[in-house]
Every structure is written in structure tokens, then in C-alpha cells.
Amino acid sequence: MSDLTDFITDRLDVDEEAARDALARTTTRRHRLSGQTVHVPDRPADWGPDAVWPPERVLADVGAKRRIVALHPHTTMRREIGEEHLRSMYGPNWERRLIHLDDLYCRTCHVADGKITNDAGIPCLTLRLLALPYADHPAYRDEWRP
């Protein structure tokens, strides 16, 4: 897991906790409208009617972003292939022959025709874009800016 993946996951955890807290504090009022009973949610003051997104939307957004993060795992050749297999492929001096053995790459963005490429940059553009809304957070790094 990369530092950026950890950063995004931490921000999503905070968003999810706030949304779940708001849902737990949401009550429902019943109104009669044209002879029918309508249930209207009463949001907590901090998630009032002017809130950009209701908590349900935030939870759906967090869930979708978690799935995107899961689709872009950052790994290394050593972790992905395994030392035993690398040793069998490259012989006893395999570690000296593979200088990029521990470089991070995204299995989704940086593999083309079975070969690792770094065309999209490290970390991958997808994760850098997911982190961009949190650029004002003190832990955000300028190197992640797309």
C-alpha cells in the first residue's frame, strides 16, 4: 500500500464516519400531504437542508471511491512475483540484476502487454485525482497533484 492510498483511505474514513454520525442523528417527521402521510427526514443542524450532499450520498460516494482505490493497488515486482520465482528466473544474483525490484507501480495503470511501464507516473493518476479534493488537508503532498 502506498502513502497516497493510506491518505485517501484515511480521508474516506473521516467522511464515512461523519455521514454515519449524521444518519444516526437523523429523525423523521410525518406530514399529511393531500391525504397521504409523507415521511420527511430531519437532518442534524450540521447536515441541514443547505448541505451539499445528504449523508446517504456521502456514503455512496465513499463506497465508490473505496472500490476505485481497490482497483489500483500499488505493489512492487518483489511482492507481485515473489522472491522464489524471481530467483528461479534470474539466478543467484537476481537482486543485483533487477534494479527496480522495489519500485512501486500500479497494477492497473502501469502494466501493458505484461510489462511494467511508468508512463502514468507514481503514484498513478487515478489515485492522484481521487486525492485532489483533499488538497487543502495538511497531510496532502504537492507531489500528488496531477
In a domain, 146, yes or no: no
Contacts of residue 105, defined as CB under 8 A and 6 or more positions apart, other chains included, come to 74, 75, 76, 77, 111, 116, 118, 122
Q: What is the pLDDT of residue 17?
A: 92
In a domain, 142, yes or no: no
pLDDT of 1 above 80: no
In a domain, 90, yes or no: yes
Any idea which of 6-20, 62-76, 119-133 has the lowest mean pLDDT? 119-133
Instruction: Please give the residue range of the domain that contains residue 119.
Output: 3-137
More confident residue, 128 or 42: 128
Q: What is the pLDDT of residue 77?
A: 75
pLDDT of 9 above 60: yes
Q: Which of 1, 4, 13, 3 is nearest to 126 (CA)?
A: 4
What are the backbone dihedrals phi and psi of residue 105, each rounded to the nearest 5 degrees, phi first?
Answer: -145, 155
- Section 71-76 average pLDDT: 85
Give the count of domains, the chain: 1
Q: What is the pLDDT of residue 86?
A: 76
In a domain, 145, yes or no: no
Q: Are 68 and 128 in contact (CB under 8 A)?
A: no
How many Å apart are CA 118 and CA 138, to the nearest integer? 28
pLDDT of 39 above 90: no
